[in-house]
Amino acid sequence: MLKKTWTRGLATLALVPMLALTACSAQGGKPADTAAGGSGGQVASTPRLKVALITHAAAGDTFWDIVRKGAEAAAAKDNVEILYTSDADAGRQAQLVQQAIDQKVDGIAVTLAKPDALKDALKKAVDAGIPVVTLNSGSDVSAKLGAFTHFGSDEKLAGEAVGAQLVSQGLKHPICVIQEQGNVALEQRCGGVKEKVPNTEILYVNGQDMTSVQSTATAKLQTTKDADVIIGLGAPFTLTVLKSIADAGSSAKVASFDLNGELAQDIVDGKVLFTVDQQPYLQGYGSIDAIWQNKVGGFRIGGGQPVLTGPAIVDKSNASDVLKFAQQGIR
């Protein structure tokens, strides 16, 4: 069990070339006899659906591997073919939405890191009668852009949870590292930390260049001697920041958002204080399953409210329990 969780509302529950949606066909056993199907590891006997999963994933961010794994698990149960694409550029992500519309998919699951760039494309999807679910980012604008539900963590709440943890440990001068300027979810995370720890500084880095991330963080730590903790907003970035600590000869502690197997091990080993996990596997799984439920029964999970998959604190007290799942790529 996780040590702490925060919930609100209903508690249900690899870049791909831009010009071609790549199918991730879910495999499973023979179709179940019942219409709802999916029990006992069998594939639902409902008509095969084609669903586009479109994220803003950047190369090398292991977080999205976990999202995709959850989506593929739901697809295997629900007799769904996933067309997975991603682009860190918001304009090109909007083009991927348009491509999905042109392919007449049965549903679209999409992240909203930069919602203004996607609103026109999503309106076209809704106008075409394609059900839309959002995940990971954009919970506050999801319904306005036509999605019938959203799966993710409340990012401001997650940031406040991190800030509260820092306060409880007597830490007063955090550096919060944002790897993509303008990403609303990341800005909300650091904003939440700052709500609890007003002396929080924001450091922007180029998340698509880990060498640059390391050198920028090192330089900041060298010139900010009173910084007592640095926070990465994703596991790969936190692992890079650990190198910056060593390079700068800094005594600052390290905290994080999100999780992978290596980061979980570092928490067990005491190299990282804690991370706040938004449980991305559930985001991918819930998004695909919600579209299937909508198509086969007209159901709208969430009752008009976001379905929260986090935040949940993982620290030394529970990291060993989480580690085995993280090493399997599902946490």
How is residue 23 written in tokens? 């199918």
Hey, which residues does 151 pair with through a beta bridge?
Answer: 135, 307
Instruction: Write phi, then psi, for 12 (nearest 5 degrees).
Output: -75, 135
Q: Dihedral through CA 92, CA 144, CA 49, CA 72, nearest 10?
A: 70
Cβ neighbour number for residue 323 with a 10 Å cutoff: 19
Hey, which residues does 83 pair with through a beta bridge?
Answer: 23, 52
Q: What is the C-alpha separation between 70 and 90, in angstroms, rounded? A: 23
* Residue 329 burial (C-beta neighbours within 10 Å; 0-12, 13-18, 19+): middle
Domains of the chain, residue spans: 7-152+280-309, 155-277
In tens, the pLDDT along 181-195 reads 999 999 999 999 999
pLDDT classification of 43: cutoffs 50, 70, 90: confident
Q: Decide if pLDDT at 320 tops 80.
A: yes
pTM: 0.80
Which range, of 20-24, 49-53, 78-82, 154-158, averages the lowest pLDDT? Answer: 20-24
Buried (b) or exposed (e) across 215-235, using 16+ Cβ within 10 A? bbbbebbeebeebbbbbbbbb
- Could you give the count of Cα atoms lying within 13 Å of 65 in the half-sphere of its Cβ? 17
Q: Which fold has domain 155-277?
A: Rossmann fold (3.40.50)
Q: Which fold has domain 7-152+280-309?
A: Rossmann fold (3.40.50)
In tens, the pLDDT along 263-293 reads 999 999 999 999 999 999 999 999 999 999 9
Examine domains 7-152+280-309 and 155-277 and report if their fold is the same.
yes
Q: What is the C-alpha separation between 175 and 236, in angstroms, rounded? A: 17
CB 261 within 8 A of CB 327: yes
Per-position DSSP letters for 229-260, written without gaps between them: EEEESSHHHHHHHHHHHHHHT---EEEEES--
